[in-house]
Amino acid sequence: MPPCFDFKTLADSLNDAGLSWKYYGVPYGTPGYIWSTFDVIKHIRMGPQWTTNVVDNSQFASDAAGGNLPAVSWITTDFDDSEHPDQPPCVGENSTVAFVNAVMQSPDWNSTVIFISWDDFGGFYDHVPPPQLDAWGLGPRVPLLIVSPFAKRGYVEHQRLEFSSVVRFIEEVYGLPFLTARDKGSADIWDAFDFVSNPQPPMVLAPRTCY
């Protein structure tokens, strides 16, 4: 199917500001390719950045080790590493840990913020009704983990965040214009960080044995 959207994206805002970006995903034909977001954005899918900026996620570790990570990275995995049923969560956890360890062991650790989130709530009961912000609402809550030398240790965020909050954070960090009223009106995440104290050292984790 041809790309079905052609609106401005955060990648375009980064391009306009002369900032680098990469989307680390999986190749066409693998189940996890369904999350290759820029495949549906016509001017990127049909443009030169499809071959330069949309790359296999196996490249992430070498980019990190060489200090060659872009200003903004997106990472998605194959289905086996996604923690979707009936995939074991341990396998997905090890995949995430490997990506985070790559950043922690890279020259870029002291200038990095990592957001780890899920696209589904897992089908479990949530006692908090989804806010009805528009015709679709936000949906049930999903986890969000912040990993950074500047993240407050043990901090629990109590604001109502959404995926647009991450977009807003990136826009504010780099002084980019807001894409829409949605990211402009979303809660920011600045209270979860301490940019005054010295950066925290990395905490490299060992993968778990999965059965």
Provide DSSP, 127-173: SSPPP-SSSS---S---EEEE-TTBPTT----S---HHHHHHHHHHH
Note the pLDDT of residue 1.
61
Note the pLDDT of residue 137.
79
Note the pLDDT of residue 147.
98
pLDDT at 77 over 80: yes
Task: Supply the pTM of this predicted model.
Answer: 0.94
Residue 83 DSSP one-character state: -
pLDDT level of residue 136 (50, 70, 90 thresholds): confident
Q: What is the pLDDT of residues 165-184, one digit of tens each?
A: 999 999 999 999 999 999 99
Looking at domain 10-192, its CATH class is alpha beta
Q: What is the pLDDT of residues 37-63, one digit of tens each?
A: 999 999 999 999 999 999 999 999 999
Phi–psi pair at 108, nearest 5 degrees: -90, 0
- What distance in Å separates the CA atoms of residue 31 and residue 22, rounded to the nearest whole number? 20
pLDDT at 206 over 90: yes
Q: What is the pLDDT of residues 140-156, one digit of tens each?
A: 899 999 999 999 999 99
Note the pLDDT of residue 211.
77
pLDDT at 24 over 70: yes
Q: Tell me the pairing of strands 144-147 and 114-117.
A: antiparallel
pLDDT at 95 over 90: yes
Note the pLDDT of residue 58.
97
pLDDT at 30 over 70: yes
pLDDT at 4 over 90: no
